[in-house]
Amino acid sequence: MQGDFRVGDWLVRPDVNELNRNGEKKSIEPKVMDVLIYLSEHAGEVLSKERLIQAVWPDTFVTDDALKYAIVSLRKVLGDNASDPRFIRNIPKRGYQMVAEVHYPRKERIEQSSWFSPDEESPQNTKEEVRPYPGLISFSAQQARFFFGREIEVEILWEKIQRTSQLGVIGATGSGKSSFIQAGLVPAVPEGWAVVVATPGTKPLAGLALALFDVLAEDQEAQKRLLGIEDPEAAIEVVSHWRRKRQEALIAIDQFEELFTLNPPEVQRGFADLLGRLIQEAGVRVLLSMRDDFLMHLHGLDALKSVFDALTPISPPTGTALRKALVNPAALCGFHFEDEALVDQILGEVGSDRGALPLFAFTAARLWDCRDRNRKLLTRSAYEIIGGVSGSLARHAEFTLEEIEEKPIPLVRELFRNLVTAEGTRLIQER
């Protein structure tokens, strides 16, 4: 174990994860201590984020946020200020530097970090770590085993699907519709059914063709017909061909509001007519998932008016469902919350605002990044470091802005303005 040493006027005691100064004691998380040790061992050097992450987290995959939270935690404990640092300096685009004087009582300078051992697997060769909380990204079908709290709603919707051919799932922004479709509905598909999930984007027909391309992997001739498809008749023929090989088939169009926000009226009518014909001529069922404030846009599309007869509203999970969404994913990975009071506190801070679920999801992901791997716990101290439900996203934004030089800031603002539409929806842009 690393021996005691001094950083500025603080005595650092790595063996107990503690800092002392004039009788004042501060405890920090093990990985936060590891970051402090590594910075201190290389005091005066500018250490890249990649180098720090490889040194402190050699056996796992973590995002930059895990390091950022450790730095923020250290600054809080040390009484440091990012704008006028006395301990840890942030060098934009380069990394971090320990600027305080570091003193080892026995004048021992460790030449090789204790985190590296010939017996350990190289970070480049380790398997990417499973992430049970996707954060602001929707759950995918591959992450379905971590998707909890919607089981009853999924069962009810599948019962509806088997009774009608045209349905709608509606909900407010951030209510979890995409996750519900991808990680809830699709993995629960009944035996004999096939499901395709597409999004309209700026070319709805191409979006549908791309989704079909993936499920027709064993039919190369059908795949060829989908390449560069622009003819609705060809789309109907391919879908009919796909449908005939299944007992039942469902086409789910997620984020259907994109049809209205990203496409002119003639494209909107053409795609709506195509979906109507797929129901009548190909014998598939169609499910539209969309923001509730765009529902009335369907009223002008005759081919889709039947959606109004079979609507399923989706609200953010609450109560027991929300608790399962928080606790169960970590439990699947062998981790638990430090105590029930922490779980209650997190759930209590979520609230019922329209944007509460994304904040909850982001907080859970950041808390996972800061987990105590030694004790396999999600801790209260980590929750406080990330800023809780109300402050985690804002703090993350502050971390990010802190690392951007002043001149590009107006460009960043302009980029963000161009990533949304006038209706407040996301704008599809190539990277």
Helix axes 204-215, 265-277, angle to 10 degrees: 40
Long-range contacts of 238-245 (CB under 8 A, 24+ apart): 238/209, 238/212, 239/212, 239/278, 239/282, 239/284, 240/281, 240/282, 240/283, 242/194, 242/212, 242/215, 242/216, 243/282, 243/283, 243/284
Fold of 150-313: Rossmann fold (3.40.50)
Tokens read off for 393? 């996203």
How would you class 18 by CB atoms within 10 Å of its CB: exposed for 0-12, middle for 13-18, buried for 19 or more?
A: middle
The CA distance from 239 to 282, in Å, is 6
CATH 1.10.1200.10 corresponds to the domain 5-125: no
Q: How far apart are CA 426 and CA 237, in angstroms?
A: 32
Q: Are 398 and 85 in contact (CB under 8 A)?
A: no
Give per-residue pLDDT as tens, 108-149: 433 333 333 333 333 333 344 678 999 888 999 889 999 999
Given a contact cutoff of 8 angstroms between Cβ atoms, the answer to whether 250 and 284 are in contact is: yes
Assign 423 a pLDDT band (cuts: 50, 70, 90). Answer: low
Q: How confident is the model at residue 339 (pLDDT cuts 50, 70, 90)?
A: very high
Instruction: Look at 352 and 68; give whichever has higher pLDDT.
Output: 68
What's the pLDDT tens digit per position in 13-61? Answer: 898 889 998 888 899 988 899 999 999 988 888 898 888 988 898 877 7
**Residue ranges covered by each domain of the chain:** 5-125, 150-313, 323-417
CA distances from 280 to 204, 302, 329, 376 (A): 19, 14, 41, 54
Distance from C-alpha of 57 to C-alpha of 303, rounded to nearest angstrom: 55
pLDDT at 93 over 80: no
Q: For residue range 387-411, list pLDDT tens digits in order.
A: 888 887 777 777 677 666 666 778 8
How confident is the model over 293-330, as pLDDT tens digits? 999 999 889 999 999 999 999 998 989 999 999 999 99
Cα 295 to the chain's mean position, in Å?
26
Centre a 10 Å sphere on the Cβ of residue 171 and count the other Cβ atoms it contains. 21
- The pTM of this model reads 0.69
> Using CA atoms, how far apart are residues 315 and 5, in angstroms rounded to an integer?
53
DSSP class of residue 105? T
Kindly give, in sequence order, each residue whose CB lies less than 8 Å from that of residue 124, ignoring residues fewer than 6 positions away.
none
Average pLDDT over residues 182-191: 93
Pairwise CA distance, residues 65 & 67, whole Å: 5
Average pLDDT of the chain is 85
Is there a shared CATH topology between the 5-125 domain and the 150-313 domain? no
Q: Count Cβ neighbours within 10 Å for each residue of 57-85 and write b for 16 or more, e otherwise.
A: bbeeebeebbbbbbbbbbbebbebeeeeb
Q: What is the DSSP letter of 318?
A: -
3-state secondary structure of 426: strand
b/e map 383-409, b = 16+ CB within 10 Å: bebbbbbeebbebbeebeeeeeeeeee
Q: Name the residue among 255, 250, 257, 290 with its Cα closest to residue 166.
A: 250
Which helix (H) or strand (E) is 18 found in, with range?
strand 18-21
Does residue 249 register a pLDDT over 80? yes
